[in-house]
Structure 1
Amino acid sequence: MTISVGDKLPEIAIKEATSDGMNEVSTGDIFSGKKVVLFAVPGAFTGTCSTVHVPGYLQNRDALLAKGVDEIAVLSVNDGFVMDAWAKATGGEGKIRFLADWDGAFTKAVGQDIDLSAGTLGVRSKRYAMIVEDGTVSALYVEPSPGEVTTSGAEAILDNL
């Protein structure tokens, strides 16, 4: 099943590094009662993800929050330790939530998985962004190619809020 506008997000446990260590957090807890911009990337520390996608959200963070967004999160099919290191390396720690879909369960449940084995990445997430209001998808922007950031970038989301 591919998630669509109007659908409720599935309840899936994912990982997130915090000051208390690696924690398991439910997607229900992340999205309940809030307006969240979630963007997903094929891989932490990969080219476009690190040089365009995350920096765009960091640069536009205040503008997104000013438009009523409560939180911004990035999700990748990587382990929590990699996502934690990526948060620190990008300067995004404490500004964006870096969520580890370590086994791809969330990505598969929302139908955004893609096999990037030809590029040596294996099964990962498509590049997309969604606006989630109280656990329900109110907007979804899936990139036609995992190497592009057009409809899922922070600037495009700002224009659509």
Structure 2
Amino acid sequence: MTINVGDRLPEATLVKVTADGPDQVKVADYFAGRTIALFAVPGAFTPTCSAQHLPGFLGKADELAAKGVDEIACTAVNDPFVLKAWSNENGAGGVTMLADGNGDFAKAVGLTMDGTKFGLGIRSQRYSMLVEDGIVKQLHVEQPGEFKVSSAEYLLDRI
């Protein structure tokens, strides 16, 4: 079942990419007491993710903060080392990378996609959400192959 606006994020563990190495974080603890703009990409280094999705959130970071967003986070079904390399290559220090290496979080929120015909396996769908104290306040899920409603601009316009 897909998560909906008004739902609490499910229990899961993600791996936060830090300068000191991978750090396991429980979703409930990470999102507690804060407003976080979370976006998910099918994979680091993939074309739309690298050319539009991540740069869009980096470019809108100040505007999101001015609207009350405490942190911007990105999740992908990649290991933390890949996400760190992707972050470094894109100068994305302003976005917290949350690795979902086994896809457990993507499965728990019901937002997986089957990329096996492209050699990607099961990945996260592309989406953005605004989460306040662990509760989904906004959720914008893309149709397959599109990049319209999960952008930073789209999310920002609705806050």
TM-score, length-normalised on structure 2? Answer: 0.97
Classify the secondary structure of the residue corresponding to 1:49. Answer: helix
Give the aligned partner of residue 111 of structure 1: 110
Deviation at residue 148 of structure 1 after TM alignment: 2.1
Q: Deviations over 1:87-129 (max 9, x none)?
A: 1011102x01011001000000000011011111110000000
Runs in 1 of length 4+ with deviation above 2 angstroms? none
User: TM-score normalised to the size of structure 1?
Assistant: 0.96
Question: CA RMSD for the aligned pairs?
Answer: 0.8
Aligned-partner residue type, residue 34 of structure 1: R
Map of 2:140 onto structure 1: 141
Could you report, residue by residue, the CA deviation over 1:42-67 in whole angstroms, capped at 9, with x for unpaired residues?
00000000000000001111001101
* Percentage of matched positions with identical amino acids: 52
Q: Give the Cα–Cα distance (whole angstroms) in 2 for the partners of residues 63 and 125 of structure 1.
A: 26
SS at match of 1:92: coil
Does the 8 A contact of 2:13 with 2:24 survive in 1? yes
Residue 42 (structure 2) pairs with residue 18 (structure 1): no
Question: Size of the alignment, in residue pairs?
Answer: 159
Q: Secondary structure at the match of 1:9?
A: coil
User: Unmatched 5+ residue regions in structure 2?
Assistant: none
Query: Which residue in the other structure is 1:50 paired with?
Result: 50
CA distance in 2, matches of 1:90, 1:30: 24
In structure 2, distance between residues paired with 1:132 and 1:73:
11
Tell me, yes or no, if the aligned pair for 1:48 and 1:148 is still in contact at 8 Å. no
